[in-house]
Homo-oligomer: A and B are copies of this chain.
Amino acid sequence: MVDLYPSRVSDKPDIIERKDPVVYSSLSDPGPLSAEQLQSFEENGYLFLEGFFNEEEVARMNKELNRVLAESQDSTSKRVIREPESQEVRSVFEVHKHDDFFQSLSEDPRLVDRLAQLLGSDVYIHQSRINLKSGFVGKEFYWHSDFETWHVEDGMPRMRAISCSITLTENTPYNGPLMLVPGSHKRFVSCVGETPEAHYESSLRKQEYGVPDRESLTELVEEGGIVAPTGPAGSVILFDCNIMHGSNSNISPSPRSNVFFVFNSVENKLVDPFSGQEPRPSYIAARDKQPAKV
């Protein structure tokens, strides 16, 4: 298969134009998202659905998240990721498979129908995780495009996947919220360097490869600025697989937690990684492609 988005193959960074649509359905097709919302997603690469889930639902999700984190504290599973310094559990992967509650949440038609509308096809879960960013010691997460990694390391061929972050705590400007660069999803930053084998085990804790260069980042931010959607727990942020995003540290006392699902189009199934290396394990990038729609 031709590599439309080569990265980590040159010693010079490069920015190329996106070769795929952003919204795969027509603005006039009926669906839960309005034409205005589709247009905004097309232009900015993200959509913020403030207060999407109600308080009762949020309370339940928080309870289930805490249960899974507690169950994982002493786990040796690779699905459990810890803070580099404090060893506290930061993420648990593949919760849509290993936990009934999060499986059923990943199949919630309010989400699935919106994602299917944006991606113009049936969808399935490419990756899921729950995240807890501690107060006081939460570290920053440097700028990256998820697609760059999913393409190079997992073999996702095209830009036809969308991340869905359900916030379970209030996002404030002070607790290290997700920052996005609007419009950056329309460009692809080809990163320098090669990927070492099995580097994912450390990269989930601290990134070193697939890091965009400063010049490209500066250019993207000059064009699109930075946004960090803030709002109550239960809000949903949908963002394109290729949008540049990251987060600063969190010294505030408020932890930040969320549920994270990546929906991929069933027409965008994974192929062999474009790095030519072994694919990452399926708890990071699902390789069986059951539609999430039930």
Contact = CB atoms under 8 A, between A and B. Distances in A.
B179 A221 contact: no
A250 interface: yes
Interface of chain A: mostly helix, strand, loop or mixed: loop
Contacts of A173: 173, 228
A253 B136 contact: no
A143 interface: yes
Contact of A252 (B135, B136, B221): B221
Contact of A136 (B172, B214, B247, B250): B214
In the complex, the 3 A-B pairs of residues with the closest C-beta atoms, listed nearest first: A173-B173, A249-B249, A140-B249
B174 A226 contact: yes
Contacts of A176: 248
A217 B254 CA distance: 11
Interface in A168-200: 172-174, 176, 179
User: How often does this chain occur in the complex, in copies?
Assistant: 2
Contact of A248 (B222, B250, B253): B250
Given A173-B173, A226-B174, A228-B173, A251 B142 contact: yes
A218 interface: yes
A253 B217 contact: yes
A111 B252 CA distance: 31
Interface in A203-231: 214, 217-218, 221-222, 226, 228
A143 B179 contact: no
A246 interface: yes
Contacts of A228: 173-174
A59 to B, nearest CB: 20
Contact of A214 (B143, B247, B253): B253
